[in-house]
Amino acid sequence: MQGKNIIVTGGAGFIGSNLVKQLADVNHVTVIDDLSTGHIKNIQNLVTSKKIDFINGSITDLELLQKSFRTVDYIFHEAAIPSVPRSIKDPVKTNTVNAQGTLNVLLAARDNHVKKVIYASSSSVYGDTPTLPKKEDMTPKPLSPYAVSKLTAEYFCEIFSRIYGLPTISLRYFNVYGPWQDPTSEYAAVVPKFITSVLHNKSPIIYGDGEQTRDFTFINDVVSANILAAESPSTGIFNIAGGKRISIKNLALLIIKTCRNDVELQYQNPREGDILHSLADVTRAEDRFNFISQFSITDGIEETIKWYQKQV
């Protein structure tokens, strides 16, 4: 992945900005982001130094995408409203951005003869099926409007590959965490919330009994997976994860131990749309484009805490 013209939608967000930083060293990168959930500070130094181009715009604007995708080789499509609780509050907005927005991306990519679209999907499409680990050929059972929107976008990707010959690959992320993840949103993910709480000597809040488990994925692994997926001829759907699970309670205890702070856990009622257990089978990604997680949960949490300590 060198010397290419690349678009990253949602490139000011958590995952997108980490991907942009990696790609911008040896490629021409343009970010499209309306900053509704992303932050310009995540990429400000790259914009200021003119290492990347930035377009303040939305994937709901098909005309903008048609203009922006001219002469582009690869689209890394990270833009989305990334929240289960928010989708429950406002399912229409979630669908408009995540499903219709992805359709717009695919239309503009098709019309401009883009080489490949790498789409950021979600493990939420599996829902709460009891079978573990989750494999890509399992029947999806989404439990939230967010999960439905992500699954719909996956189907659009597959259809555009089959009917129009546009190469697409959907990466089902499992609970991504790491530096640059926003802890301040009311919809923030659990890792940045736990870390910032503990660093401020506050109790991390656990929804439910804390025995629910997740397969957490460090951001560097996700960035590597995206680049490997782009360079590979493979298309279709792939799990991207650490491949191991930890309970939410034990995650909180790990963060407390790593921060060397002595705070108590606080429990609240379970949240709507949350699944109980999640674990990925990443064999397909390993076989097809050599994706192997390089970061254990302990190493990833340690790296992430170091970054947040610098922000406090």
Catalytic residue numbers, as ranges? 146
- For the four alpha carbons of 19, 21, 27 and 33, in that order, the dihedral sign comes to positive
CB 44 within 8 A of CB 24: no
CB 169 within 8 A of CB 119: yes
Alpha carbon distances (Å) from 216 to 100, 177, 191, 223, 254: 28, 7, 9, 14, 13
Q: Which residues contact 199 (CB under 8 A, 6 or more apart)?
A: 259, 261, 305, 308, 309, 312
Q: How open is the CA angle 213-219-224, to the nearest 5 degrees?
A: 120
Determine the Cα–Cα distance for residues 302 and 296; give it in Å rounded to an integer.
10
Q: Which residues contact 55 (CB under 8 A, 6 or more apart)?
A: 30, 31, 32, 33, 64, 68
Q: How open is the CA angle 53-57-61, to the nearest 5 degrees?
A: 130
Phi-psi region of 245 (alpha: psi -120 to 50; beta: other; left: phi over 0): beta
Determine the Cα–Cα distance for residues 18 and 84; give it in Å rounded to an integer.
22
DSSP state of 134: B
Q: H/E/C letters for each residue in 259-295?
A: HCCCCCCEEECCCCCCCCECCECCHHHHHHHCCCCCC
